Protein backbone atom coordinates (compact mmCIF):
# COMPACT_ATOMS: atom_id res chain seq x y z
CA UNK A 1 0.00 0.00 0.00
CA UNK A 2 1.46 3.37 -1.01
CA UNK A 3 1.65 6.61 0.95
CA UNK A 4 -1.55 8.08 2.37
CA UNK A 5 -3.87 7.21 5.22
CA UNK A 6 -5.97 4.05 4.86
CA UNK A 7 -9.05 6.27 4.62
CA UNK A 8 -7.51 8.31 1.78
CA UNK A 9 -6.47 5.16 -0.05
CA UNK A 10 -9.91 3.61 0.25
CA UNK A 11 -11.55 6.75 -1.10
CA UNK A 12 -9.04 6.78 -3.96
CA UNK A 13 -9.81 3.12 -4.75
CA UNK A 14 -13.57 3.64 -4.61
CA UNK A 15 -13.40 6.78 -6.74
CA UNK A 16 -11.22 4.95 -9.26
CA UNK A 17 -13.76 2.14 -9.52
CA UNK A 18 -16.62 4.61 -9.90
CA UNK A 19 -14.75 6.34 -12.71
CA UNK A 20 -14.18 2.99 -14.42
CA UNK A 21 -17.82 1.94 -14.30
CA UNK A 22 -18.91 5.41 -15.45
CA UNK A 23 -16.63 5.23 -18.49
CA UNK A 24 -16.62 1.51 -19.30
CA UNK A 25 -20.22 0.61 -18.44
CA UNK A 26 -21.95 3.63 -20.00
CA UNK A 27 -23.49 1.58 -22.80
CA UNK A 28 -24.71 -1.13 -20.43
CA UNK A 29 -26.13 1.47 -18.02
CA UNK A 30 -28.05 3.08 -20.89
CA UNK A 31 -29.34 -0.32 -22.01
CA UNK A 32 -30.44 -1.26 -18.48
CA UNK A 33 -32.17 2.07 -17.96
CA UNK A 34 -33.98 1.71 -21.26
CA UNK A 35 -35.03 -1.86 -20.44
CA UNK A 36 -36.62 -0.69 -17.18
CA UNK A 37 -38.32 2.24 -18.91
CA UNK A 38 -39.69 -0.12 -21.55
CA UNK A 39 -41.02 -2.36 -18.78
CA UNK A 40 -42.74 0.54 -17.03
CA UNK A 41 -44.29 1.79 -20.27
CA UNK A 42 -45.58 -1.71 -21.06
CA UNK A 43 -47.28 -2.06 -17.68
CA UNK A 44 -44.70 -4.41 -16.23
CA UNK A 45 -43.40 -4.51 -12.68
CA UNK A 46 -39.84 -4.03 -11.42
CA UNK A 47 -38.04 -6.24 -8.91
CA UNK A 48 -34.57 -6.31 -7.36
CA UNK A 49 -32.88 -9.24 -5.67
CA UNK A 50 -29.60 -9.77 -3.91
CA UNK A 51 -28.44 -12.23 -1.26
CA UNK A 52 -26.24 -11.42 1.71
CA UNK A 53 -24.43 -8.12 1.35
CA UNK A 54 -25.55 -7.93 -2.28
CA UNK A 55 -29.03 -7.39 -0.85
CA UNK A 56 -27.94 -4.01 0.49
CA UNK A 57 -27.82 -2.54 -3.01
CA UNK A 58 -31.20 -4.09 -3.81
CA UNK A 59 -32.77 -2.59 -0.70
CA UNK A 60 -31.26 0.79 -1.55
CA UNK A 61 -33.51 1.16 -4.61
CA UNK A 62 -36.77 0.10 -2.93
CA UNK A 63 -39.15 2.64 -1.32
CA UNK A 64 -36.44 5.25 -1.65
CA UNK A 65 -36.84 9.03 -1.73
CA UNK A 66 -35.84 10.15 -5.20
CA UNK A 67 -36.23 6.61 -6.49
CA UNK A 68 -38.75 4.78 -8.64
CA UNK A 69 -41.83 3.78 -6.67
CA UNK A 70 -42.26 0.67 -8.83
CA UNK A 71 -39.07 -1.06 -7.69
CA UNK A 72 -39.95 -3.97 -5.40
CA UNK A 73 -37.66 -6.11 -3.26
CA UNK A 74 -37.72 -9.81 -4.07
CA UNK A 75 -36.81 -11.44 -0.78
CA UNK A 76 -36.73 -14.74 1.05
CA UNK A 77 -35.93 -15.63 4.67
CA UNK A 78 -32.23 -15.97 5.29
CA UNK A 79 -31.24 -14.15 2.12
CA UNK A 80 -31.78 -10.49 3.00
CA UNK A 81 -28.55 -9.08 4.37
CA UNK A 82 -27.33 -10.76 7.54
CA UNK A 83 -30.75 -11.07 9.18
CA UNK A 84 -30.45 -14.84 9.59
CA UNK A 85 -28.75 -16.47 12.59
CA UNK A 86 -26.12 -17.69 12.32
CA UNK A 87 -25.09 -15.24 9.59
CA UNK A 88 -23.02 -17.97 7.95
CA UNK A 89 -26.23 -19.81 7.05
CA UNK A 90 -26.92 -17.17 4.42
CA UNK A 91 -23.75 -18.13 2.57
CA UNK A 92 -24.82 -21.77 2.58
CA UNK A 93 -28.32 -20.97 1.31
CA UNK A 94 -26.85 -19.27 -1.77
CA UNK A 95 -25.51 -22.66 -2.84
CA UNK A 96 -28.77 -24.60 -2.47
CA UNK A 97 -30.20 -25.91 -5.74
CA UNK A 98 -33.91 -25.26 -6.20
CA UNK A 99 -34.14 -22.37 -3.74
CA UNK A 100 -34.31 -19.66 -6.40
CA UNK A 101 -37.13 -21.47 -8.21
CA UNK A 102 -39.04 -21.77 -4.94
CA UNK A 103 -38.61 -18.04 -4.32
CA UNK A 104 -39.93 -17.17 -7.78
CA UNK A 105 -42.78 -19.69 -7.53
CA UNK A 106 -44.08 -17.82 -4.49
CA UNK A 107 -43.39 -14.31 -5.79
CA UNK A 108 -45.55 -12.00 -7.93
CA UNK A 109 -43.00 -12.02 -10.78
CA UNK A 110 -44.61 -12.75 -14.15
CA UNK A 111 -43.99 -12.44 -17.86
CA UNK A 112 -43.31 -8.86 -18.91
CA UNK A 113 -41.66 -7.90 -15.62
CA UNK A 114 -38.01 -6.96 -15.10
CA UNK A 115 -35.73 -8.38 -12.42
CA UNK A 116 -32.42 -6.91 -11.30
CA UNK A 117 -30.22 -9.63 -9.80
CA UNK A 118 -27.21 -8.51 -7.80
CA UNK A 119 -24.45 -10.99 -7.07
CA UNK A 120 -20.82 -9.94 -6.76
CA UNK A 121 -19.38 -13.31 -7.73
CA UNK A 122 -22.32 -14.54 -9.81
CA UNK A 123 -21.01 -18.06 -9.24
CA UNK A 124 -23.44 -19.52 -6.72
CA UNK A 125 -26.45 -21.65 -7.61
CA UNK A 126 -28.95 -19.08 -6.32
CA UNK A 127 -28.32 -16.11 -8.68
CA UNK A 128 -27.69 -18.34 -11.69
CA UNK A 129 -30.85 -20.36 -11.15
CA UNK A 130 -32.86 -17.22 -10.44
CA UNK A 131 -31.79 -15.63 -13.73
CA UNK A 132 -32.56 -18.78 -15.69
CA UNK A 133 -35.91 -19.31 -13.99
CA UNK A 134 -36.97 -15.66 -14.31
CA UNK A 135 -36.26 -15.64 -18.05
CA UNK A 136 -38.13 -18.94 -18.44
CA UNK A 137 -41.13 -17.11 -16.95
CA UNK A 138 -40.86 -14.38 -19.57
CA UNK A 139 -39.21 -11.75 -17.37
CA UNK A 140 -36.18 -9.77 -18.47
CA UNK A 141 -33.07 -9.85 -16.32
CA UNK A 142 -30.42 -7.27 -15.52
CA UNK A 143 -27.39 -8.73 -13.77
CA UNK A 144 -25.03 -6.68 -11.61
CA UNK A 145 -21.86 -8.63 -10.97
CA UNK A 146 -18.08 -8.67 -11.20
CA UNK A 147 -17.28 -10.38 -14.48
CA UNK A 148 -13.75 -11.13 -13.24
CA UNK A 149 -15.12 -13.98 -11.12
CA UNK A 150 -16.08 -15.89 -14.26
CA UNK A 151 -12.45 -16.20 -15.28
CA UNK A 152 -10.84 -16.53 -11.86
CA UNK A 153 -13.25 -18.85 -9.99
CA UNK A 154 -15.26 -21.99 -10.62
CA UNK A 155 -19.03 -21.87 -10.98
CA UNK A 156 -21.07 -23.51 -8.22
CA UNK A 157 -24.06 -24.08 -10.50
CA UNK A 158 -24.54 -27.47 -12.11
CA UNK A 159 -24.40 -25.88 -15.56
CA UNK A 160 -20.94 -24.45 -14.95
CA UNK A 161 -22.25 -21.01 -15.90
CA UNK A 162 -22.42 -17.67 -14.10
CA UNK A 163 -25.05 -14.99 -13.59
CA UNK A 164 -23.59 -13.00 -16.48
CA UNK A 165 -24.45 -15.83 -18.88
CA UNK A 166 -28.21 -15.55 -18.31
CA UNK A 167 -28.98 -11.82 -18.47
CA UNK A 168 -30.46 -9.44 -21.01
CA UNK A 169 -28.07 -6.76 -19.75
CA UNK A 170 -24.93 -7.21 -17.62
CA UNK A 171 -23.45 -4.44 -15.48
CA UNK A 172 -19.84 -5.18 -14.53
CA UNK A 173 -18.89 -3.64 -11.18
CA UNK A 174 -15.17 -4.18 -11.88
CA UNK A 175 -14.64 -5.35 -8.30
CA UNK A 176 -11.56 -7.55 -7.92
CA UNK A 177 -12.05 -11.14 -6.77
CA UNK A 178 -12.16 -11.10 -2.99
CA UNK A 179 -13.77 -7.65 -2.68
CA UNK A 180 -11.01 -5.96 -0.67
CA UNK A 181 -9.25 -2.88 -1.99
CA UNK A 182 -6.37 -2.37 0.44
CA UNK A 183 -3.36 -4.30 1.74
CA UNK A 184 -0.95 -3.45 4.54
CA UNK A 185 2.24 -5.21 5.59
CA UNK A 186 1.04 -5.37 9.18
CA UNK A 187 -2.32 -6.92 8.28
CA UNK A 188 -2.32 -10.53 6.96
CA UNK A 189 -5.46 -10.21 4.81
CA UNK A 190 -6.66 -7.66 2.25
CA UNK A 191 -9.35 -5.35 3.61
CA UNK A 192 -11.79 -2.50 2.85
CA UNK A 193 -14.51 -3.82 0.47
CA UNK A 194 -15.99 -1.41 -2.10
CA UNK A 195 -18.63 -3.55 -3.80
CA UNK A 196 -21.57 -1.94 -1.99
CA UNK A 197 -20.45 1.57 -2.90
CA UNK A 198 -19.94 0.72 -6.56
CA UNK A 199 -22.99 -1.50 -7.00
CA UNK A 200 -25.30 1.05 -5.40
CA UNK A 201 -23.90 3.78 -7.62
CA UNK A 202 -24.39 1.61 -10.71
CA UNK A 203 -28.03 0.99 -9.85
CA UNK A 204 -28.74 4.64 -9.09
CA UNK A 205 -27.20 5.54 -12.46
CA UNK A 206 -29.49 3.02 -14.14
CA UNK A 207 -32.60 4.36 -12.38
CA UNK A 208 -31.63 7.94 -13.22
CA UNK A 209 -31.47 6.83 -16.84
CA UNK A 210 -34.87 5.16 -16.51
CA UNK A 211 -36.49 8.29 -15.09
CA UNK A 212 -35.01 10.53 -17.78
CA UNK A 213 -35.98 8.08 -20.54
CA UNK A 214 -39.59 7.96 -19.35
CA UNK A 215 -39.72 11.75 -19.20
CA UNK A 216 -38.30 12.02 -22.72
CA UNK A 217 -41.16 9.79 -23.89
CA UNK A 218 -43.76 11.98 -22.24
CA UNK A 219 -44.36 9.71 -19.23
CA UNK A 220 -44.06 11.20 -15.76
CA UNK A 221 -41.60 8.93 -13.91
CA UNK A 222 -43.27 7.39 -10.82
CA UNK A 223 -40.81 8.89 -8.35
CA UNK A 224 -41.04 9.04 -4.57
CA UNK A 225 -40.33 12.09 -2.46
CA UNK A 226 -38.91 12.19 1.04
CA UNK A 227 -41.48 11.99 3.79
CA UNK A 228 -39.34 14.54 5.65
CA UNK A 229 -40.09 17.21 3.04
CA UNK A 230 -43.34 19.13 3.34
CA UNK A 231 -45.89 17.60 0.99
CA UNK A 232 -43.84 14.43 0.56
CA UNK A 233 -46.40 12.05 2.04
CA UNK A 234 -49.18 13.54 -0.08
CA UNK A 235 -47.06 13.22 -3.21
CA UNK A 236 -46.25 9.60 -2.43
CA UNK A 237 -49.88 8.78 -1.68
CA UNK A 238 -50.82 9.92 -5.17
CA UNK A 239 -48.10 7.74 -6.72
CA UNK A 240 -49.12 4.74 -4.60
CA UNK A 241 -52.72 5.11 -5.69
CA UNK A 242 -51.85 5.46 -9.36
CA UNK A 243 -49.56 2.43 -9.39
CA UNK A 244 -51.12 0.33 -6.62
CA UNK A 245 -51.24 -2.77 -8.82
CA UNK A 246 -47.47 -2.66 -9.38
CA UNK A 247 -46.26 -1.89 -5.86
CA UNK A 248 -45.97 -4.85 -3.49
CA UNK A 249 -44.14 -3.44 -0.45
CA UNK A 250 -47.41 -1.89 0.77
CA UNK A 251 -49.47 -5.05 0.63
pLDDT digits (tens, 9 = 90+) for 210-235: 999 999 999 999 999 999 999 999 99
Radius of gyration of the chain (CA): 18
The residue length of the chain stands at 251
Mean pLDDT of 185-196: 95
Mean pLDDT of 145-165: 93
Kindly list the distances between the CA atom of residue 51 and the CA atoms of 25, 48, 146, 211, 246, in Å, as whole numbers in the listed order: 23, 10, 15, 26, 23
pTM of the model: 0.94
Mean pLDDT of 44-48: 97
Model pLDDT, residue 2: 57
- Is the pLDDT score of 1 beyond 60? no
What confidence category does residue 77 fall into, taking pLDDT thresholds of 50, 70 and 90?
A: confident
Kindly report the average pLDDT of the chain as a whole number: 93
* Selected residue with higher pLDDT from 158 and 40: 40
Kindly list the distances between the CA atom of residue 107 and the CA atoms of 72, 77, 100, 103, 139, in Å, as whole numbers in the listed order: 11, 13, 11, 6, 13
Among the ranges given (9-18, 133-142, 148-157), the one the predictor scored with the smallest mean pLDDT: 148-157
Query: From CA 76, how far away is CA 102, in angstroms rounded?
Result: 10
Nearest to 114 by CA among 173, 68, 162: 68
pLDDT digits (tens, 9 = 90+) for 87-140: 877 777 777 778 889 999 999 999 999 999 999 999 999 999 999 999 999 999
Model pLDDT, residue 82: 74
Amino acid sequence: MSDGTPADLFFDAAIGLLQRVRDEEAEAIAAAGTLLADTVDAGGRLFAFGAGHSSLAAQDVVYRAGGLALMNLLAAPGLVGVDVMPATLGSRLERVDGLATAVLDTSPLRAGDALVIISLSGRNALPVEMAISARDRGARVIGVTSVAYATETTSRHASGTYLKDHCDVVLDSKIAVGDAELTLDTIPAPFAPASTVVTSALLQAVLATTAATLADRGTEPPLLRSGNVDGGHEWNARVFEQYHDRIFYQH
